Chain A
Amino acid sequence: MSAFHVTFEQGIALLVFDLPGEPVNKLGPAAVADFERLFFGQLAQDPLIQAVVLLSGKPDNFIAGADIDQFLLIADAEAGAAMSQAGQDLINRVEAYPKPVVAAIHGACLGAGLELALACSWRIATDHPKTQLGLPEVQIGILPGAGGCQRLPRTIGLRAALDIILAGKSERAQKAFRLGLVDELVHPAILKEAAIAAALRLASGETPQRAPKAGLGGMLLDRNPIGRRLVYRQARATVLKKTGGNYPAPLEAIEAVKAGLEHGMETGLRVEREGFGRLAVSDVARQLIGIFFATTALKKDDGVPPGTPAKKFRRLGVVGAGFMGAGIAGTAVTQAEVEVRLKDTDLARVAKGLGSAQKILDGRLKRKRVTRYQHERLSALLSGTEDWSGFGRTGLVIEAVFEDLGLKQEVMADLEAAVPADTIIATNTSTIPIAQIGARLRHPERFLGMHFFSPVDRMPLLEVIPGPVTAPTAIATAVQFGRKMGKTVIVVRDSPGFWVNRILLPYMAEAGRLIEEGVPIDVIDRVMTRYGFPVGPATLLDEVGLDVAAKAGAVMHTAFGDRLAPSDLIPKLLADGRMGRKNGRGLFRYQEGKKAGVDESVYAVLGITPRSEVDEVDVRDRLSCLMLNEAAMALAEGVVRSPRDGDIGAIFGIGFPPFRGGPLRAIDASGPAMLVQRLEALTLAHGDRFTPCAALADHARAGQPYYSR
C-alpha cells in the first residue's frame, strides 16, 4: 500500500500523505520511495498537471518528522552524513521542481516535515491549535539534517531561526505566520480550497510576494555579517550556559547555520550533514533517542494491569490547599480541564490555595497558551470550600495535606465519609508508606498513592503507588489522569521513598556531609551541574525546604537504617531558623524571592571554614556513585518494574542528566564492574554506606548490563 495517493482538481494534483497503519505521518525510507515515484514521476511529467498541493490524510497531523528508528541503524559518522545527504538531495529536488508546490498544513509539521514544507513554493497553514511547526531535532541530540539549518534562517531570519532550532521548539500557526514561516493562515474547513487557489495563482505565473521581515533588529543583526557574528557568539554563549557543554547538537547546529549564511548553501549543507553524521552516532543522541523510545514504550506498557479501563470523571477533589494541593488543583484545571474542588480547614487557607492555583492558569494566559475566553472558562472550573460540599460527585480525590501519618489518617476517615464508595482516593506523599496511610479505610481497594513533584505545574513526573489491595481500576484511573495532567507516569512499589526519593535522599545526605566536611556549597553545586543535573544538591535542598527534607530523611533512616542516615547539617540549620527558600533563609541568600549567592554565614553556624582545595572528582563520585548504587539496589527490590521505568523516573523526577540516559544506563556506560571498584574504594575512604549492593556485585560478576542495547 502506498503512503501517497493523488487526486486531481482543476488541473492541480492533490498529493495526499497517509502512512498506512500509523496514527501520524513519518518520513521513512518506504514513504520517501512512494513520494519520489509519484512526485518526480507522473506528477512532474504530465503536462496537464499545472501544480501540486501536498496534503495529509491524517486527522490532525501533517508530518510528524523523520522515522526515528532509522537513526539507530546508523553505523558511523560517514553513514550518518550520507543519510543526511540523501535527505538534503531529496529536498533540493523538491525546491527545484518545475511546477509550483503548495504545502497545505494542518496539524503537526515537524522536523523533516517542516524541512520539506520549507522547500515548497507556498505554505498555507490552518489557524488551529493542533497546527504546530518546528524543528525538534536537538531534543534528541541531532540537528535538522535535510536542509533545515539552511532554509529556516533564509525564510524567517537568523535570530528567529536559531530561536527555533536551538531550543528544538515548535510554534503555533499564528506565531509561525507572524514569523513568515507560513504564507497564509486559513480556517481548517477551507484548507484544500485555499491551497488549490494558491496553486492556480502560482501556476498562472504569479510570483509569491513575501514582505521581507526586517525591522531595526533585522537590519542590524540578521542582515549584515558583523551583526550576525554577534548573534552567533551570543547564541553559543547561551547554549553553553544552558547545557553546561554536555549537549553538542545545538553547537553543531549553530555551525551549520553559520556556514550556510556566510559561505553559501553548498558549504552550509556540507557542514550540516557532517554535523548530523557526528551527532547521530554520539552517545548523547543515542541516550536521548533511547529516552524518546522509552517514554513511548512506557505509554503502552504503563504498569496498569492490561485491559483495565480507567474511570471517567469530571470532578476532582483536592484536600489540602497548601503548595502541593494548590499546584495539583491548578495543573488539573489547566491540563486535564476537570472541575476541581479544593478543600482546606479554613477559608483563609482555601483562599491562598485558590490564589496560587489561579496563578498557574494566569501564567498560561500570559504566555498566550490559552485565549482570554478559554482562561475564563478554565477559571470557572476551579473552586474552593472549607466543608465537603461538592465532594459527593468527585471521581477522584487527591489528598495533599502536610506529611504527617496521623493527620493523613484522620483526613482519610473524614474524606471517606464525604465521598461515594466508588470515588478513588489518592494520597500525595513523598515518603510515608501508602499501606499505613490507608490502613483504616473501609474501602482500601479504591486507595493508592500519587506522588507529585514540586512545583507541580512544572515537574513532569508522577509516581503512582498501589497499596496492598488497590484495585486495577484505581491504578488505571490514577495513571490516566496523571497523563491528562501532562505527566509522565511510572507505577512504583510501596516502599519508603518510593523510587525517586529513595535514590535522591542518600545523594542529598552525602551533599550535607560534604558541606560539613568543609566543601564550599557553590563548589558542590557546580560539580553536579557540570555532571549534568539542572541544579546542584544544595540549591535543591533549599528549594525542597529543610523541614521537608528533615522529615523525609527521618523516614528513610528508620526504614533502611544507618546506610541512609541523614547528615547532621539539616538539624543544625533548622535550629538556626533556616528552612530554605520558603522563609528566605537557607544555604543561599534570597533577595526579593531571588537566589543571591551562598549565605556565607552558614559556615559559622556549622562551625567550619570552607576548604580552598577540593578534589572535585571525589565530590562528584561520592554523590553520583551513591545514587547509582541505591538505584541498583532499589531496582533489585522491585521498587520499579524495569530499568526503563527507573531511568525515566530519575530523569523526569530529579533531572538526572538525560544525556547519561538515567542511572541504570549510566551504570551500563561505565560497566557495573567499574562502578563496584569505585564504590569499594570509596568504602575504604569514607565508610560502609558506599558498600556496593549485592545486585550490582552480581551484575559485575556476570558482566551483564541492564540493557541489551
Chain B
Amino acid sequence: MRGLPPNRRAVVIAGLRTPFARSGTVYRDVTAAQLARHAARELLYRTELPGNEVDQVMIGQVVPSPLIPNVAREVSLLPQLPKTIPAYTLNRACASGAQAIANAADQIMFGHADVVLAGGVESLSDVPILHSKRFAQTLMAASRARTLGERVSLFARVRPRDLAPVAPAIAEPSTGESMGQSAERMAKENGVTREAQDQLALMSHQRAAAATEDGRLRAEIAPWFGGRDFAEVTTTDNGIRQDSSLDALGKLKPVFDRRYGTVTAGNSSPLTDGAAMTLMMSAEKAYSLGYRPLAAVRSYAVAAVDPGWQLLSGPAWAVPQALDRAGISWKDLGLVEIHEAFAAQVLSNVQAWSSREWAARAGRSEPVGEVDWERTNALGGSIAIGHPFGATGARIVTTLANEMVRRDVQFGLVSICAQGGMGFAMVLERV
C-alpha cells in the first residue's frame, strides 16, 4: 500500500490453477481439497519454492464440504510443506479468492508473514446434500437412543417426504432472490439489452479461446491427471467455446423470465469446479530468494449494498474506493479485470462507473471512469472460463498480473461482485 516501506510491500510472485471445468464433468469424483492441493503443489514446483519458506496458507471457499470444513489446512498439510504452517479458509462469497490474497497482503505488510500461499477453490460437484430437518433430527435422536426398540419407534415416525434431500440453493438468505433473478432485474432497471449481453459473452469466449490457443492461459494452468489410472489429462478449461456466435447465443431461452427476460445460460457464468493459488511474498523476501515479482498489491477495498436492491452493484462503490486508496484515477489503469458473473451485471457495473447519477449515489462529484474494452478482460472472463466461486478471485489476480507484465502497464484493477450485495476491488502495481 502507499506509504509503506518498499521492502514490506506485498507482491505477487506467481499464480497457478487447475483447469476450470463445468461441475459434474472432469472433477465429478474429486474433492475441493484435492483440487486446491494440486494447484498449490504444482505452484510450489513451478516456482521451485522450498516448502519450509511458507509461513501461512489462506484459501477462499464458498461452499465447504462438512467433511473438510477447513480446506486451507489440508493444503498446508501437503507433504511438500512442513506440518507446522497455520492455515484458514475464508468466505467472502465470489470474492473469496481475491480476499485471501488481500488478507495475505495484510499479513505481509504487518510483518506477520513473508511468504503466503493464497487462493481459492470450489467444487460444486462435491457439495453437501442435506437431509430435511425432520429426518436430521430423527437421526440425531437415534444416535442417542439406547435400545433397538427406541430406534425403531423413532424411524417409524419418518414420512417419505422427510427423505427428500435438500440441495443448497444459490439464493440470498435475506431476500430469497436467486442471483440470476437479481441479474435479470438489474438488466431491466439499467436498460441492458439482450444483444449487449450476448455481445459481451461472445467476446469472453473469443478472447478466452485465443488466450488458450496462444498459450497465455495454458501457462497459468497445471495439467490435471484424472480418471482411472490418471489416463484422462486435462490442460484447458472446458467451458470455453471457440465456435460461439451471436446467432447461437441469441437462440438460447432466457432462464429467469421466460417471456421478457434477457439473462440466458449463454450470457451467465456456468457452475464450475476448480482451484487457483497464488504465491505472495514481501518484496524483501522475494528479492532475497531471487524471485522477480509480477506486481505488488497497491490497494484494495470492499463495499456492500442492500441485497434487496441491485444485488450485484457492489463494485460501483468498491472500485472508486480502491482507486482513492491507491491514489490514482481510472485513467491511470492500463488493464482492468471484471469478474463476469452475468453479462447483465458487468454491463450494469460499467454503466454505473461512467454515470453521474451513480457517482452522486456514491457521494462523488465525478463518475469513476469509462471502460475501454481493449484493456478490459483481455483474456476473456468468467462467462467463458467458468466461475468456481472461491477460486475466481485468485484466477483473476494471476491473469491480470501476468498480462500487466506482458503489456508493461503500471496499474491494473480487479473488480468482483459478490453474493450479499458485496463488491471487491484491488489495484495492482508493477514493481
Central interface residue in B50, B78, B80, by most chain A CB within 10 Å = B80
**A495 located at the interface, meaning its Cβ lies under 8 Å from any Cβ of chain B in the complex:** no
Q: Give the residue of A339, A378, A384, A390 whose beta carbon is less than 8 angstroms from that of B46.
A: A390
In contact, B225 and A354 (Cβ under 8 angstroms)? yes
Known: A380-B37, A389-B45, A389-B46. A352 touches B231 (CB 8 A): yes
Docked CA distance A380–B76 (Å)? 12
B231 / chain A contacts, CB cutoff of 8 Å:
351-352, 355
In contact, B79 and A347 (Cβ under 8 angstroms)? no
In contact, A377 and B229 (Cβ under 8 angstroms)? no
In contact, B229 and A392 (Cβ under 8 angstroms)? no
A339 / chain B contacts, CB cutoff of 8 Å:
79-80
**B172 located at the interface, meaning its Cβ lies under 8 Å from any Cβ of chain A in the complex:** no
Docked CA distance A392–B228 (Å)? 30
In contact, A359 and B229 (Cβ under 8 angstroms)? yes
Docked CA distance A355–B230 (Å)? 5
A378 / chain B contacts, CB cutoff of 8 Å:
79
In contact, A358 and B50 (Cβ under 8 angstroms)? no
A233 to chain B, nearest CB (A): 42
**A385 located at the interface, meaning its Cβ lies under 8 Å from any Cβ of chain B in the complex:** yes
Interface string of B224-243 (1 = CB under 8 A from A): 01001111110100000000
B424 to chain A, nearest CB (A): 31
**A311 located at the interface, meaning its Cβ lies under 8 Å from any Cβ of chain B in the complex:** no
Docked CA distance A348–B232 (Å)? 8
Q: Give the residue of B41, B48, B78, B230 whose beta carbon is less than 8 angstroms from that of A351.
A: B230
**A270 located at the interface, meaning its Cβ lies under 8 Å from any Cβ of chain B in the complex:** no
Interface residues of B in 3-42 (CB under 8 A from A): 37, 41-42
Docked CA distance A352–B230 (Å)? 7
Known: A339-B79, A339-B80, A351-B225. A385 touches B230 (CB 8 A): no
In contact, A385 and B45 (Cβ under 8 angstroms)? yes
Closest partner residue, chain B, to A378 (CB atom):
B79
Docked CA distance A549–B267 (Å)? 61
**A548 located at the interface, meaning its Cβ lies under 8 Å from any Cβ of chain B in the complex:** no
In contact, A380 and B41 (Cβ under 8 angstroms)? yes
**A383 located at the interface, meaning its Cβ lies under 8 Å from any Cβ of chain B in the complex:** yes
Interface string of A387-413 (1 = CB under 8 A from B): 001101100000000000000000000
In contact, B229 and A355 (Cβ under 8 angstroms)? yes
In contact, B48 and A347 (Cβ under 8 angstroms)? no
Interface string of A315-357 (1 = CB under 8 A from B): 0000000000000000000000001010000011011101110
In contact, A383 and B45 (Cβ under 8 angstroms)? yes
Docked CA distance A355–B231 (Å)? 7
Central interface residue in A358, A386, A389, by most chain B CB within 10 Å = A389
Closest partner residue, chain A, to B46 (CB atom):
A389
Docked CA distance A288–B223 (Å)? 50
Docked CA distance A359–B46 (Å)? 26
Closest partner residue, chain B, to A356 (CB atom):
B229
A355 / chain B contacts, CB cutoff of 8 Å:
225, 228-231
Closest partner residue, chain A, to B33 (CB atom):
A376
Docked CA distance A636–B225 (Å)? 50
Interface residues of B in 79-100 (CB under 8 A from A): 79-80
Docked CA distance A381–B37 (Å)? 11
Docked CA distance A378–B46 (Å)? 20
Q: Give the residue of A347, A359, A393 whose beta carbon is less than 8 angstroms from that of B233.
A: A347
Docked CA distance A358–B231 (Å)? 12
In contact, B230 and A383 (Cβ under 8 angstroms)? no
Docked CA distance A354–B42 (Å)? 15
Interface string of B33-66 (1 = CB under 8 A from A): 0000100011001101010000000000000000
B41 / chain A contacts, CB cutoff of 8 Å:
380, 383
In contact, A358 and B46 (Cβ under 8 angstroms)? no
Interface residues of A in 447-500 (CB under 8 A from B): none
B232 / chain A contacts, CB cutoff of 8 Å:
351
In contact, A380 and B78 (Cβ under 8 angstroms)? yes
B230 / chain A contacts, CB cutoff of 8 Å:
351-352, 354-355, 358
A350 / chain B contacts, CB cutoff of 8 Å:
225, 233
Docked CA distance A352–B46 (Å)? 21
In contact, A347 and B80 (Cβ under 8 angstroms)? no
A381 / chain B contacts, CB cutoff of 8 Å:
79-80
In contact, A347 and B223 (Cβ under 8 angstroms)? yes
Docked CA distance A389–B223 (Å)? 13
In contact, B46 and A393 (Cβ under 8 angstroms)? no
Closest partner residue, chain B, to A315 (CB atom):
B80
Docked CA distance A381–B77 (Å)? 12
A117 to chain B, nearest CB (A): 36
Docked CA distance A119–B235 (Å)? 63
B80 / chain A contacts, CB cutoff of 8 Å:
339, 380-381
In contact, A341 and B45 (Cβ under 8 angstroms)? yes
In contact, A390 and B45 (Cβ under 8 angstroms)? yes
Closest partner residue, chain B, to A337 (CB atom):
B79
Interface residues of B in 215-229 (CB under 8 A from A): 223, 225, 228-229
Known: A381-B79, A384-B225. A351 touches B45 (CB 8 A): no
Docked CA distance A352–B225 (Å)? 10
B281 to chain A, nearest CB (A): 17
A393 / chain B contacts, CB cutoff of 8 Å:
48, 50
In contact, B235 and A390 (Cβ under 8 angstroms)? no
In contact, A390 and B79 (Cβ under 8 angstroms)? no
B226 to chain A, nearest CB (A): 9
B216 to chain A, nearest CB (A): 16
Docked CA distance A392–B79 (Å)? 18
In contact, A347 and B235 (Cβ under 8 angstroms)? yes
A358 / chain B contacts, CB cutoff of 8 Å:
229-230
Interface string of A367-379 (1 = CB under 8 A from B): 0000000000110
In contact, A377 and B79 (Cβ under 8 angstroms)? yes
B155 to chain A, nearest CB (A): 30
Interface residues of B in 184-233 (CB under 8 A from A): 223, 225, 228-233
B310 to chain A, nearest CB (A): 44
In contact, B233 and A383 (Cβ under 8 angstroms)? no
B233 / chain A contacts, CB cutoff of 8 Å:
347-348, 350-351
Closest partner residue, chain B, to A341 (CB atom):
B45
Docked CA distance A377–B41 (Å)? 13
Docked CA distance A402–B37 (Å)? 32
A530 to chain B, nearest CB (A): 38
A365 to chain B, nearest CB (A): 15
Docked CA distance A341–B80 (Å)? 12
Closest partner residue, chain B, to A392 (CB atom):
B48
Central interface residue in A341, A350, A390, by most chain B CB within 10 Å = A390
A381 to chain B, nearest CB (A): 5
Docked CA distance A352–B233 (Å)? 10
Closest partner residue, chain B, to A338 (CB atom):
B79
Central interface residue in A351, A381, A386, by most chain B CB within 10 Å = A351
Q: 5 A-B Cβ contacts within 8 A?
A: A347-B225, A355-B228, A355-B230, A385-B45, A389-B46
Seen from chain A, the residues whose Cβ lies within 8 Å of a Cβ on chain B are: 339, 341, 347-348, 350-352, 354-356, 358-359, 377-378, 380-381, 383-386, 389-390, 392-393
Extra contacts, 8 of them, besides A341-B45, A351-B233 (Cβ < 8 A), are A350-B233, A352-B230, A352-B231, A355-B231, A359-B229, A384-B225, A389-B42, A389-B48
The 7 nearest A-B residue pairs measured at CB: A355-B229, A390-B45, A392-B48, A355-B230, A389-B46, A354-B230, A347-B233
